[in-house]
Structure 1
Amino acid sequence: MSQQKSDYAPDTEIDASLDELPTDEAIGRAVENLESNGFDVVVVDSAAEALETIQSHVPAGASVMNGHSTTLEEIEFMTYLSEGDHEWESLPDEIWSIEDDAERQAARREAQTADYFLGGINAIAETGELVAADRSGSRIGAYPFAASNLVIVSGVNKIVPTLDDALDRLESVAYPLENERAKEAYGVDSAIAKQLIFRQELEEGRTTVVLVREQLGY
């Protein structure tokens, strides 16, 4: 049985002030500054529209990989990638079918260079920066350069006023929730071991941020 956010989120202490739905003005500032920093931005109203955006954005024949993302689970992308009617090469299915540990790890590293890598983010500053962290780096390793194309999906609840607020959100919202998930899923604590501040995308059209007007992920 797959794990749900509701299994652990209600009992996890977070700074709720950094997980609220922002005003339309705040969303507009974030979009404007993200676009000024080289990111393509698509704003949608629902999880279903976010999945439709991905379906239309990723071309047939592309190799597709993802990092763990509660948001991708919530918009049902993970189910669609594994079981849906598409013409993509699903790298996660290939990777997790490999029985040898060393071969599987090598395939995970190679998958960082997928045609399209999808993932979430831990915070978005209205000033136009993205903040994310991993314990292993298997997600954010692809974000800055390795993947040919990057699609980041985020609920607008991750928008906060400044970069300092974004870093605070990582520590006081995303980490506590991810730590509880990791303990439930893997029996180990998580860690903010490898951290990324994505300030600019210099390759035109490479990185698309899909903002969903819902409270998604953490």
Structure 2
Amino acid sequence: MNDFQEIADRVEIEALRGEFTDAAMMRDRARLAALFTPDGVLRMPNVPVEFVGRGEIRTGGERLQAQWDFFVQNSHPGTIRLDGDTATGRAYMQEIARMLDGRSGLNFAVYHDSYRRTPEGWKFAERVYEVRYVDTTPLRGSASGPDVQSHGFGEVRDAGPASEAAGTDGSVTGAPDDFGAPVSAERLDRVVAALRANGFTAELLDDAAAARARVKELIPEGASVFTGASETLGLSGIAQDLEEGDRYQAIRRNVLGMDRATEFDRIRRLVATPDVFVASVAAVTETGSLVIASGSGSQLPASAGGAAKAIWVVGAQKVVPDLSTALRRVEEHALPLENARAQAVYGQPSAVNRLLVLNAEPQSGRGTVLLLREAIGF
């Protein structure tokens, strides 16, 4: 190997490690998973978790990040040892974090890495996370929100009325522009009340596991069920429950085996008028509206009224004050994450080609919103 190639490899591996920290900080788990080889492994014995393959790394990371109030990771250069198309190395981390249950702390850790050269460039074959020091003294600071003004090294919080985004301990959760963080209990209660006033059946559940059990209760055995493409359904296991086995007539599974050229009209009718449609939404407003974004539009007819029953499972981070903020959440938060996922899975970008806003449900009992207290999905 010539000197130039060795320098280029070291630069690319260092960039890979930097991309990992950026993806973690931006809560972009699809991008983070794509930094690994398809069979790559992320091990964190101190947590303890072990994720094997890009799918587990993405979904496992979603579950972990749903517990954060805030998380900051600073990475420092370490060692890189090249060996042809493979390499090993270490990277050093300083991290501070606070969980939604109030636990917080600071730690110093080491990532023990194995890298592999691929047609897409250098990727992680394995990352093993070793904590060297932990300080669980409660952090006195808070995650910054739009009401925080920076002045040099300090922060001056607006002296006006307390923001709804602030928790009882002074931490900020669900600030208006933090589209990935769950909102406060007060705001969740307000959304439920608004949805019910608009004709939806709305239930507030603790987590994805509770939603998974509730969906099974709501759908009768033998019903034809169409599941919209949704990270929420995939991460929660709801999609697996509905699309595998013989308890339901799984429309998505059936149409995947049909010829789109010769059976398109039948496919169109099947997905538009199922007995039950199950999906998520891009945003839900505190005034009780659901906002749904789609690239193809195939799931919109069922949501709008084609399905006899519709169930939407919605994470607490999708709550926004109003419609204009909902549209901003679609463009600034959901689309970039979905675009990265589509690129990793399908090799092509996504797009918001169609938008549906449901302001009310005129048919009593048709539409059910299962709103969770935790964040899940995009």
TM-score with structure 1 setting the length: 0.89
CA shift, 1:105, in A, is 3.4
SS in 1 for 2:364: coil
Look up the match of 2:146: none
Query: How big is the alpha-carbon RMSD for the aligned residues of Structure 1 and Structure 2?
Result: 2.2
Matched, 1:65 2:226: yes
SS in 2 for 1:64: strand
Match of 1:101 among 254, 260, 268: 260
SS in 1 for 2:376: coil
Structure 2 CA distance for aligned equivalents of residues 62 and 80 of structure 1 = 13
Look up the match of 1:27: 188
CA shift, 1:95, in A, is 1.3
Structure 1 CA distance for aligned equivalents of residues 358 and 227 of structure 2 = 18
> Superposed, which structure 2 residues align to 1:146-161 within 5 Å?
146-161=306-321
- Check 1:103–1:153 CA distance in 2 against 1; reply closer, same or farther (3 A cut): farther
Which amino acid in the other structure matches residue 359 of structure 2?
A: R
Matched, 1:49 2:101: no
Matched, 1:121 2:173: no
Amino-acid identity (%): 34
TM-score with structure 2 setting the length: 0.53
Gapped regions of structure 1 (runs ≥ 5): none
Q: Which has the higher strand share?
A: 2
Matched, 1:185 2:237: no
Which amino acid in the other structure matches residue 6 of structure 1?
A: R
Which amino acid in the other structure matches residue 204 of structure 2?
A: V
Look up the match of 1:169: 329
Structure 1 CA distance for aligned equivalents of residues 57 and 284 of structure 2 = 21
Structure 2 CA distance for aligned equivalents of residues 68 and 199 of structure 1 = 22
Q: What is the aligned residue count?
A: 212
C-alpha contact 2:188 2:373 (8 A) present in aligned 1: no
CA shift, 1:196, in A, is 0.8
Structure 1 CA distance for aligned equivalents of residues 322 and 253 of structure 2 = 38
Look up the match of 1:195: 355
**Cα deviation 1:56-86 (Å, max 9, x = unaligned):** 00112211011100000011012112335x6
Asked which structure has the greater CA Rg, the reply is 2
**Cα deviation 1:88-135 (Å, max 9, x = unaligned):** 21112211222x222453343122200001111000111111111111
CA shift, 1:141, in A, is 2.6
CA shift, 1:162, in A, is 1.5
C-alpha contact 1:34 1:41 (8 A) present in aligned 2: yes
Which amino acid in the other structure matches residue 235 of structure 2?
A: E
